[in-house]
Structure 1
Amino acid sequence: MPSPTRFPILARVLPALALALSLAACATNPPVDAAPPLSGLSSTYTDPYAWLENANAPDALAWVAQQNARTLAELTRDAPLADFTTTATLLAQEASEEGGSGALPSGGAVDGKDPAVTTIDGVRHVYAGSNCFGTLDPDAPPPAPGAEPVVVGRTCLVSLSRTGEDAVEVREYDPAAKAYVPGGFHLPYAKQTVVWLDHDTLLVARGWDSSGTAMTRAGYPYVVKVLQRGQRLEEAHEIFRGLVTDTSVSPAVFRDRQGHRAIVLVRRPTYFTTEHYLVEGRRTLRLGLPPLAELAVLANGQLVVKLGQDWQAATGRTFPGGSYVSVDLDAARHEPAKLRAAPVYLPGPHEAVTNLVKARSHLVVTSDENVRGRLTILTRADGGWKAQRVDLPDMSAISIKSSSEDKDKLTVSVAGFLTPQALWSVDLDSAAATLVKAGTPGFDASPYTVDQWQAVSTDGTAIPYFIVHRKDMALYGDNPTLLTAYGGFNLSRLPAYSATIGKLWLDRGGVYVVANIRGGGEFGPAWHEAALKTHRQKSFDDFTAVARDLISRQVTRSARLGISGGSNGGLLMGVALTQHPDLWGAVAIKVPLLDMLRYEAIAAGASWVAEYGSVSVPEERAFLASISPYQRLDPTRTYPETLIMTATHDDRVGPGHARKFAARMEALGKPVLFYESDEGGHGTRGLDDAARARGPALELAYFTSRLMGRRTDHAAGGQVVAGAAD
């Protein structure tokens, strides 16, 4: 699941010292209410495996080592694990070579081929993003049309993680010298958000104690300070303090080509809700935006806002959730509580907006229409915005790779299930798209096709899903099928290219299915809200409906049907396993939440109450108890063998959920395999090629051995043939 803190927008020239003093003078706290203690975490059962929640406890790590050894031994004996690992590693190496030049985006050498890894003082770090600052050269002539202005004194704040965790160390880096700035900004390891005010001033949200761990209950910063170049952390000036019960507080600075700027402090009382404070000299003004809203860009003096809910502006007009609207910055300064808004982009009925960026003369929106990527150019016309679609390949995911507010061109990536990521250059004046670089295929896709089908959920809702299969797929209910979904946090499962899936699953006779269930963001805010808190069973029912649809269409049968999901998708897999154990032939649960009666007390779990509900609310606790996979394991039921995977250094979900679930399954005599990586965090960021390949190889070796045994080849007249694992 995503981190609740958003990386900030780059700021440019501001009068540093005067601004810092005025910011310190306007230090603002939100209204303070007595924060109720978390309650209801204790339950009527005694948890004999609570000791496994301590990620680095010696006894827990000893248990992990024992489980890892058993799992590797079993999959080495029963599955082509070594071959899969070799193939997956080669594919990962090819992807690394395809994806980068071995340089940080801000310049500078790195180790090996992976542009996400660098070494400082002999210690390997994971590159987690950069945020750069420079000033326009006052002596340079005006740039030619379409050219970028000359920037001098450019340095970058580079965020570095030890193992792919959310916590980072921040260091100032000079891309021209390809070196870290001697005596430059250096913020110790912590979960933190840092933005430039000017070359010598930062806005920082982090834990301000000596260990950097004084955070909200959710584990994120809630105090923002101004830090001057040369100051120690303890000398920084506090300008804003949230509550320990908030999810997080973070700063952002917006600027446009016309010289407007907006300094904004974003308080998140919950994971999804926001309060936006506009800093004006010694004043801090709360903007009258709805709780579900995000600032996107500042353009032509207009703050562009993405709405997560329907909103009636001060003009009386109501804008639908999922829209982009604009608010005049100067008007907001004068009447911050009564904001007038104008439409920028209103999505269609089956469309969900995903991103908006600004170019020199245009705004550009990416969206998904019926779960297919779209790119739309917005141009000022007749006091509003004219929209023009860009013609790009269908049945694909589209994302913006690079853009500049100084040019009317951008680069987008386009990828599908059978087409690797390709780079396209888009001329925003003409809306013409030109293929710049086609991706290198990792497998031969010519035998396969992609269809988009629909299942009908329990309440009659149509649930779309993608199915990737051979063009000559036989519908005799015997195809090994791997089904995956996510269904949470307003995040969408879009077409995505995986050479590993192609080579190690499709080429061995498998079918691959991605379900777009409620809880995700595939059709905008309403699709997400339909499965929040006590309504989450809808998401689980949607997933089950897709599985039953595949069986009813004779694509597969339960013994050949495997399911896989990670993070919130891991919770989905746990519920699918415990609610319908007879429906699956194999189950992979990755970096999951599984103990929903204690999730608020584990890692960053407290930040997700807005998604799942809280055990401190009786109705929500009752629902969580009814679906929590850890508690719903039934000694009397038969479960398919389950593979559970996690990471020791996952500081977002934590490894405790996965460990405890595996331990309980084992104690109940249920078939379970467990593997925990000591590399990476909640995902694969910063892993080298071999480490990045290890997880998929392990998972697909498991599914191959469990789902691709001997089966009938109906296309060959009913002859029994050996499966790929034989």
Structure 2
Amino acid sequence: MPSVCSRVLPALLLALSLAACAQDPAVEPVAPLSGLSSTYTDPYAWLETPDSPDALAWVARQNQRTLAELTQDAPLSDFISTATLLAHEASEEGGSGALPSGGAVDGKDPAVTTIDGVRHVYAGSNCYGTVDPDAPPPAPGADPVVMGRTCLVSLSRTGEDAVEVREYDPVAKAYVPGGFHLPYAKQTVVWLDHDTLLVARGWDSSDAALTRSGYPYVVKVVQRGQPLDQAHEIFQGRVTDTSVSPAIFRDRQGHRAIVLVRRPSYFTTEHYLVEGRHTLKLGLPPLAELAVLANGQLVVKLGQDWQTASGRTFPAGSYVSVDLDAARHDPAKLKAAPVYLPGPREAVTNLVKARSHLVVTSDENVRGRLTVLTRIDGGWKTTRVDLPDMSAVSIKSSSEDKDKLTVTVAGFLTPQAVWSVDLDSAAATLVKAGSPGFDASPYTVDQWQAASTDGTAIPYFIVHRKDMVLSGDNPTLLTAYGGFNLSRLPTYSATIGKLWLDRGGVYVVANIRGGGEFGPAWHEAALKTHRQKSFDDFTAVARDLIQRQVTRPARLGISGGSNGGLLMGVALTQHPDLWGAVAIKVPLLDMLRYEAIAAGSSWVAEYGSVSVPEERAFLASISPYQRLDPSRTYPETLIMTATHDDRVGPGHARKFAARMEALGKPVLFYESDEGGHGTRGLDDAARARGPALELAYFASRLMPRHAERPVGGQVVAGAAD
């Protein structure tokens, strides 16, 4: 059987041999695009069509040129081999099982399977039958009624968000004969009972039941063996919504809530209880999410301050509970009780239920915390679990049947470890330490902060050698995200360790506004026309690193993907003199057309809309595609995307690269034909290829040609200055 590394190298060598013969067509420079005018001509609009022959031919030429240049300037094959081996070891480290939570059907790789030759499997834990939800409530102390278990697995062709859904038997390791089978689509599917599903999807080939963002807004009931065209509709949103999806909440006491979640915009929600043939709109605030149902109480996470029917106000970021029976009786006038109120520098991230407790994960000053909540005298007692600091904490598995759960803990220098937590005592025990992919002993992690333009303190993590010299000459890789209420937490990456730190690099993660590091207010501070704060925060961290003499512009590289790709594009066009190298991955870059590309229209609540004059003016002022300036000098930029990205779409990256090339600016472009928006569902080799290309690029552009010196426990030579 060939090794995981050997599968990728022949393809690389073939691409390089083709590159030796390929000739890029001459490209005439173009005039600056007028982003401030009401209309403009886009000479590269043809690159927005993902699978057009002309666009794919352009992609092939760019890929060949990029691979040839990186192979010439860096030991690219070594980077790919090392990254692939590390990815394979990480997959093996994940362990095996019949159907791990969020994992694959065959259990070997947490995101990959090969049943029926289909590699990409998501949502493998969507199983029915662990507990019979329709059985009478069990007597105190009695075991729940356990039924047969089948699961819904979501199969993707190339890693997109669209999936095919099939019913699977994890014991027989086979699809259920005559079982549920929903064709390929963007869809949400939940069990109502063993023979009934609630499904939101496009219901015909014309996509008539999809929103303008490309997501479902019609929910129907599908019975076992029933053709989809005979499914019964129970709810319809609007084509202008972001999406509509069903959800089922159950508890051990036999309560069940059938909920339809309508999202008029990306962040706002409306929740409807389904009662027989009626739907009851719950009087929850627009920025709210249902978490769990426990003891007949709906637990709600608040994204905004909420004054309830009783007159009490709960702050944004809190968990509160609403009585389910009371909600059915008077859904518009809800009363609530506090469950968990975070501190001023804390952001709650998740809540799960166990047999006698609730458990909350949160980030306090961007460091993971785990808290056990115990119901006492009508209130909730909180007990903090002692876990390693400077880490990210996430819940791996939990069950209503017991008062134990397992969590994973990982840091920049400590691989993901599994801990068992006894919830009655709040005691944590290490079950399995992660296997290190590199020697972390020479390194340390600090948390520093920089002052942004408006004086706001912006924290950032810096991973570096313990004996780092503040000479201003350390090759430094800075990354951030800054959007959609998502946080950048300590994350273990053996690839970063082996291919960057061990080569003498410094790694920095900035926690800028727009993310969720400090709760909803941190996110809201950089929404729409306030987004320049996020960009300024990032620049402030870069300047702080330079001022502290960690690095200098010629040694400073920046990298980000998706919304972080937009951040990189803005950093490149606003401050090109600050960076020695820039990597922009699966990005948004044409902010005057983002609403018309892939799922872009779903993010108006985050970025604003060109249909609003004030918001359009701001988008035009920051849009990287329009702000490229023929008169400015830019560092060489690496742009990476995926043909099958059905969320952001490859058009942004393609057009930006084409325009940089036409303006005579140094640019490298690479587009993968595997995966979608990110690496979900990819095998080891495909998942490793992107980071390997990126780190080979940064090593060749940022690492100075000094005499050989020891770094990371080995002697290496730097690349060209």
Shared fold per TM-score greater than 0.5 = yes
Displacement of 1:134: 1.2
Write out per-residue CA displacement over residues 81-118 of structure 1, whole angstroms, 9 at most, x where no aligned residue.
11111111110111011013275437999679434223
Provide the C-alpha distance between the structure 2 equivalents of 1:335 and 1:522, rounded to a whole number of angstroms.
Answer: 35
Provide the C-alpha distance between the structure 2 equivalents of 1:725 and 1:640, rounded to a whole number of angstroms.
Answer: 15
Secondary structure at the aligned position of 1:83 is classed as helix
CA gap 1:584/1:319 in 2 versus in 1, 3 angstroms: same
Write out per-residue CA displacement over residues 161-194 of structure 1, whole angstroms, 9 at most, x where no aligned residue.
1111100101011122221111111000000001
Displacement of 1:127: 3.4
CA gap 1:306/1:16 in 2 versus in 1, 3 angstroms: farther
Higher mean C-alpha displacement, 704-713 vs 459-468: 704-713
Provide the C-alpha distance between the structure 2 equivalents of 1:365 and 1:104, rounded to a whole number of angstroms.
Answer: 25
Displacement of 1:453: 0.1
Displacement of 1:124: 3.9
CA contact (8 A) 1:157 1:170 kept: yes
Secondary structure at the aligned position of 1:69 is classed as helix
CA contact (8 A) 1:420 1:497 kept: yes
Displacement of 1:43: 4.4
CA contact (8 A) 1:132 1:155 kept: yes
Write out per-residue CA displacement over residues 503-541 of structure 1, whole angstroms, 9 at most, x where no aligned residue.
000001000000000000000000000000000000000
Provide the C-alpha distance between the structure 2 equivalents of 1:534 and 1:697, rounded to a whole number of angstroms.
Answer: 36
Partner of 1:502: 497
Secondary structure at the aligned position of 1:152 is classed as coil
Secondary structure at the aligned position of 1:156 is classed as strand
Write out per-residue CA displacement over residues 543-585 of structure 1, whole angstroms, 9 at most, x where no aligned residue.
0000000000000000000000000000000000000000000
Displacement of 1:619: 0.2
Higher mean C-alpha displacement, 685-694 vs 534-543: 685-694
Equivalent pairs, count = 718
Write out per-residue CA displacement over residues 444-500 of structure 1, whole angstroms, 9 at most, x where no aligned residue.
000000000000000000000000000000001000000000000000000000000
Displacement of 1:281: 1.6
CA gap 1:77/1:195 in 2 versus in 1, 3 angstroms: same
CA gap 1:666/1:432 in 2 versus in 1, 3 angstroms: same
Provide the C-alpha distance between the structure 2 equivalents of 1:574 and 1:21, rounded to a whole number of angstroms.
Answer: 28
Provide the C-alpha distance between the structure 2 equivalents of 1:401 and 1:359, rounded to a whole number of angstroms.
Answer: 13
CA gap 1:184/1:467 in 2 versus in 1, 3 angstroms: same
CA contact (8 A) 1:109 1:118 kept: yes
CA gap 1:11/1:385 in 2 versus in 1, 3 angstroms: farther
Identity among equivalent positions (%) equals 90
CA contact (8 A) 2:102 2:122 kept: no
CA gap 1:17/1:34 in 2 versus in 1, 3 angstroms: closer
CA contact (8 A) 2:482 2:513 kept: yes
Displacement of 1:128: 4.1
Provide the C-alpha distance between the structure 2 equivalents of 1:11 and 1:133, rounded to a whole number of angstroms.
Answer: 40
Partner of 1:402: 397
CA gap 1:195/1:664 in 2 versus in 1, 3 angstroms: same
Provide the C-alpha distance between the structure 1 equivalents of 2:248 and 2:75, rounded to a whole number of angstroms.
Answer: 52
Displacement of 1:48: 0.4
Higher mean C-alpha displacement, 274-283 vs 124-133: 124-133
CA gap 1:149/1:170 in 2 versus in 1, 3 angstroms: same
Higher mean C-alpha displacement, 53-62 vs 122-131: 122-131
Secondary structure at the aligned position of 1:28 is classed as coil
Provide the C-alpha distance between the structure 2 equivalents of 1:162 and 1:535, rounded to a whole number of angstroms.
Answer: 38
Secondary structure at the aligned position of 2:238 is classed as coil
The equivalences for 1:5-154 within 5 A come to: 43-101=38-96, 103-105=98-100, 113-134=108-129, 136=131, 149=144, 151-154=146-149
Write out per-residue CA displacement over residues 393-430 of structure 1, whole angstroms, 9 at most, x where no aligned residue.
00000000000011100000000000000000000000
CA contact (8 A) 1:365 1:378 kept: yes
CA contact (8 A) 2:15 2:67 kept: no
CA gap 1:143/1:30 in 2 versus in 1, 3 angstroms: farther
CA gap 1:515/1:660 in 2 versus in 1, 3 angstroms: same
Displacement of 1:255: 0.7
CA contact (8 A) 1:449 1:469 kept: yes
Displacement of 1:367: 0.1
CA contact (8 A) 1:476 1:714 kept: no
Write out per-residue CA displacement over residues 643-675 of structure 1, whole angstroms, 9 at most, x where no aligned residue.
000000000000000000000000000000000
Higher mean C-alpha displacement, 699-708 vs 153-162: 153-162
Displacement of 1:283: 1.9
Partner of 1:186: 181
Provide the C-alpha distance between the structure 2 equivalents of 1:18 and 1:717, rounded to a whole number of angstroms.
Answer: 30
Provide the C-alpha distance between the structure 2 equivalents of 1:675 and 1:526, rounded to a whole number of angstroms.
Answer: 36
CA contact (8 A) 1:379 1:385 kept: yes
Provide the C-alpha distance between the structure 2 equivalents of 1:207 and 1:451, rounded to a whole number of angstroms.
Answer: 48
CA contact (8 A) 1:23 1:239 kept: no
Write out per-residue CA displacement over residues 212-251 of structure 1, whole angstroms, 9 at most, x where no aligned residue.
5641001100000111111100000111100000000001
CA contact (8 A) 1:147 1:406 kept: no
Provide the C-alpha distance between the structure 2 equivalents of 1:487 and 1:344, rounded to a whole number of angstroms.
Answer: 28
Displacement of 1:347: 0.0
Provide the C-alpha distance between the structure 2 equivalents of 1:513 and 1:90, rounded to a whole number of angstroms.
Answer: 24
Q: Residue 581 of structure 1: which of 569, 576, 583 is its match?
A: 576
CA contact (8 A) 2:36 2:617 kept: no
Secondary structure at the aligned position of 1:314 is classed as coil
Write out per-residue CA displacement over residues 311-363 of structure 1, whole angstroms, 9 at most, x where no aligned residue.
00111110000000000011111111110000000000000000000000000
CA contact (8 A) 2:103 2:124 kept: no
Displacement of 1:28: 59
Provide the C-alpha distance between the structure 1 equivalents of 2:24 and 2:378, rounded to a whole number of angstroms.
Answer: 38
CA gap 1:134/1:326 in 2 versus in 1, 3 angstroms: same
CA contact (8 A) 1:172 1:180 kept: yes
CA gap 1:473/1:632 in 2 versus in 1, 3 angstroms: same
Displacement of 1:382: 2.0
Provide the C-alpha distance between the structure 1 equivalents of 2:106 and 2:401, rounded to a whole number of angstroms.
Answer: 32
Partner of 1:598: 593
CA contact (8 A) 2:301 2:317 kept: yes
Displacement of 1:53: 0.3
Secondary structure at the aligned position of 1:303 is classed as strand
Provide the C-alpha distance between the structure 2 equivalents of 1:228 and 1:107, rounded to a whole number of angstroms.
Answer: 25
Provide the C-alpha distance between the structure 2 equivalents of 1:34 and 1:396, rounded to a whole number of angstroms.
Answer: 48
CA contact (8 A) 1:296 1:306 kept: yes
Displacement of 1:24: 59
Provide the C-alpha distance between the structure 2 equivalents of 1:162 and 1:618, rounded to a whole number of angstroms.
Answer: 40
CA gap 1:103/1:591 in 2 versus in 1, 3 angstroms: farther
Provide the C-alpha distance between the structure 2 equivalents of 1:57 and 1:150, rounded to a whole number of angstroms.
Answer: 54
Displacement of 1:12: 44
CA contact (8 A) 1:25 1:239 kept: no
Provide the C-alpha distance between the structure 2 equivalents of 1:251 and 1:600, rounded to a whole number of angstroms.
Answer: 26
Displacement of 1:152: 1.9
CA contact (8 A) 1:13 1:197 kept: no
CA contact (8 A) 1:478 1:711 kept: no
CA gap 1:577/1:137 in 2 versus in 1, 3 angstroms: closer
Provide the C-alpha distance between the structure 1 equivalents of 2:447 and 2:172, rounded to a whole number of angstroms.
Answer: 50
Provide the C-alpha distance between the structure 2 equivalents of 1:371 and 1:586, rounded to a whole number of angstroms.
Answer: 27
CA gap 1:696/1:374 in 2 versus in 1, 3 angstroms: same
TM-score (norm 2): 0.92
Partner of 1:6: none
Provide the C-alpha distance between the structure 2 equivalents of 1:573 and 1:28, rounded to a whole number of angstroms.
Answer: 29
Displacement of 1:30: 53
CA gap 1:68/1:389 in 2 versus in 1, 3 angstroms: same
CA contact (8 A) 1:102 1:114 kept: no
CA contact (8 A) 1:11 1:253 kept: no
Higher mean C-alpha displacement, 683-692 vs 596-605: 683-692
TM-score (norm 1): 0.91
CA contact (8 A) 2:98 2:171 kept: no
CA contact (8 A) 1:221 1:250 kept: yes
Higher mean C-alpha displacement, 207-216 vs 86-95: 207-216
Higher mean C-alpha displacement, 18-27 vs 496-505: 18-27
In structure 1, runs of 5+ residues without a counterpart are 1-8
CA gap 1:378/1:635 in 2 versus in 1, 3 angstroms: same
Provide the C-alpha distance between the structure 2 equivalents of 1:322 and 1:538, rounded to a whole number of angstroms.
Answer: 21
CA gap 1:232/1:411 in 2 versus in 1, 3 angstroms: same
Higher mean C-alpha displacement, 25-34 vs 310-319: 25-34
